[in-house]
């Protein structure tokens, strides 16, 4: 169980940093800033901060994979399907972050003098949202639901409820991304990020019973 608590603590710390970067840095270059030229200016003038902010989410993706892998390995013998969903999520998620870091800032610099560059910026931005917000986030959230439901007998009910809330809010975020709803993505993140942090903190702190085997009553 110590390995799981360590994985949860590491994921908590990295997600806290990523959440702060989203709240104070990245939001200024996202759809939550409705004025497009303000977004362009931020990406041009603060490209280093923008890059570091997205790199924190890259680390968060790797940390959540490590946490899910350890969680499944501790509580189940038949863990591969759930964790494979998160492994599959890394491809689109890292691709989206590569677009955010390497494609959008140069397009933002060109967009002030070119309407075509503005349209291309919005197209790549939408692709990044679909890859990360819809595809990857939906897979992460499904993994959270599977693992939390499977281990519901190993933790106090409130810990499992928070974990299930992570999955539900995450799927809601995926729906908002699919519908291209900036308000929906904002508000689902308002609930999702604290839920993730609370769940990781709970797993890191709260003692759990360990039960292996595909015939486990927790599965």
Query: For the segment 200-211, what is each residue's pLDDT rounded down to a tens digit?
Result: 999 999 877 655
Give 78's pLDDT tier (boundaries 50, 70, 90).
low
Q: E strand or H helix at 211, and its extent?
A: none
Query: For the segment 4-33, what is each residue's pLDDT rounded down to a tens digit?
Result: 999 999 999 999 999 999 999 999 999 988
Query: 217 pLDDT exceeds 50?
Result: no
Distance CA 124, CA 122 (A): 6
| Best CA proximity match to 95, nearest among 129, 48, 120 | 129
Give 121's pLDDT tier (boundaries 50, 70, 90).
very high
Contacts of 190 (CB under 8 A, 6+ apart): none
Give 213's pLDDT tier (boundaries 50, 70, 90).
very low
| Best CA proximity match to 145, nearest among 183, 195, 88 | 195
pTM, whole model, 2 decimals? 0.90
In the prediction, which pLDDT does 138 show?
Answer: 97
In the prediction, which pLDDT does 219 show?
Answer: 36
Asked if residue 19 lies in contact with residue 193, where contact means CB atoms within 8 angstroms, the answer is: yes
């Amino acid at each position: 169980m110590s390995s799981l608590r360590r994985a949860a603590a590491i994921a908590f710390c990295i997600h806290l940093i990523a959440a702060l970067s989203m709240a104070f840095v990245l939001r200024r270059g996202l759809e939550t800033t409705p004025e497009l030229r303000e977004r362009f200016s931020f990406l041009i003038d603060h490209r280093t901060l923008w890059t570091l902010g997205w790199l924190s989410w890259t680390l968060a993706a790797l940390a959540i994979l490590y946490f899910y892998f350890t969680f499944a390995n501790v509580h189940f013998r038949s863990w591969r399907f759930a964790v494979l969903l998160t492994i599959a999520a890394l491809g689109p998620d890292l691709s989206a972050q590569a677009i955010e870091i390497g494609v959008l800032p140069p397009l933002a610099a060109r967009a002030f003098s070119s309407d075509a560059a503005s349209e291309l910026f919005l197209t790549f931005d939408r692709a990044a949202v679909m890859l990360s917000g819809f595809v990857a986030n939906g897979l992460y959230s499904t993994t959270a639901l599977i693992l939390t439901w499977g281990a519901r007998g190993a933790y106090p009910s409130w810990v499992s409820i928070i974990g299930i809330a992570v999955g539900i809010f995450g799927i809601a975020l995926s729906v908002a991304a699919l519908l291209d709803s900036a308000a929906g993505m904002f508000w689902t993140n308002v609930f999702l990020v604290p839920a993730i942090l609370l769940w990781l903190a709970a797993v890191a702190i709260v003692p759990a019973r360990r039960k292996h085997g595909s015939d486990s009553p927790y599965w």
